[in-house]
């Protein structure tokens, strides 16, 4: 119910209400220690530690698509909330890494993408972002290492082709 209410707040442009509802839902779940329930009281369709973070990330997507600083701040808050309640998930550091990369805070972004990579190794999007951040920091050797890992993943090859051009242009 509360996730539906949060979605309503999102759709009506009330980000503060959305964050408040999601914060309360996650806090209540932690305090009660009762499992989440799905439609008609059924168990979640996947393990909580996967399903809830992935669902939370879906709440971030509309804000990423807005491409403005106010919406990015909502993403930051949602990602921090996700990290607080699901610290083992790679999605919190991934989204925070993206947030800090967009704000050109490269070192902080690098640290967060490294966390995401530790929690979910060989994710092509994380490896592509690590490569890009290392390029921005001027770390050619590290960028090449991430690029090599990215090339091994079929879904990462298009990104690897683009990033390899950027690495070749580095001094």
- The reply to whether 74 and 106 lie within a common domain is no
What sections of the chain are H helices per DSSP?
2-11, 15-32, 48-66, 69-85, 91-102, 106-119, 124-137, 140-151, 157-168
Same domain, 63 and 115: no
pLDDT tens digit string along 28-85?
999 998 988 888 889 999 999 999 999 999 999 999 999 999 999 999 999 999 999 9
Domain range spanning residue 106? 90-171
Q: What is the pLDDT of residues 73-121, one digit of tens each?
A: 999 999 999 999 999 999 999 999 999 999 999 999 999 999 999 999 9
Sign of CA dihedral 126, 132, 136, 141: positive
| Model pTM score | 0.92
pLDDT of 144-153, one tens digit each? 999 999 999 9
Q: What is the CATH number of the domain that holds 150?
A: 1.25.40.10
């Amino acid at each position: 119910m509360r996730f539906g209410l949060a979605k309503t707040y999102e759709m009506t442009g009330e980000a503060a209400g959305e964050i408040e509802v999601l914060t309360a839902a996650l806090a209540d779940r932690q305090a009660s220690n009762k499992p989440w329930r799905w439609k008609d009281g059924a168990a979640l369709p996947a393990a909580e530690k996967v399903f809830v973070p992935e669902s939370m990330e879906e709440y971030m997507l509309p804000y990423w698509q807005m491409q403005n600083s106010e919406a990015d701040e909502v993403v930051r808050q949602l990602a921090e909330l996700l990290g607080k309640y699901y610290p083992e998930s790679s999605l919190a550091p991934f989204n925070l890494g993206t947030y800090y990369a967009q704000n050109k805070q490269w070192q902080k972004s690098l640290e967060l993408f490294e966390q995401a990579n530790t929690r979910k190794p060989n994710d092509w999007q994380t490896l592509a972002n690590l490569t890009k951040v290392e390029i921005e920091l001027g770390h050619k050797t590290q960028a090449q290492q991430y690029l090599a890992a990215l090339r091994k993943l079929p879904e990462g090859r298009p990104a690897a082709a683009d990033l390899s051009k950027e690495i070749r242009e580095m001094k």
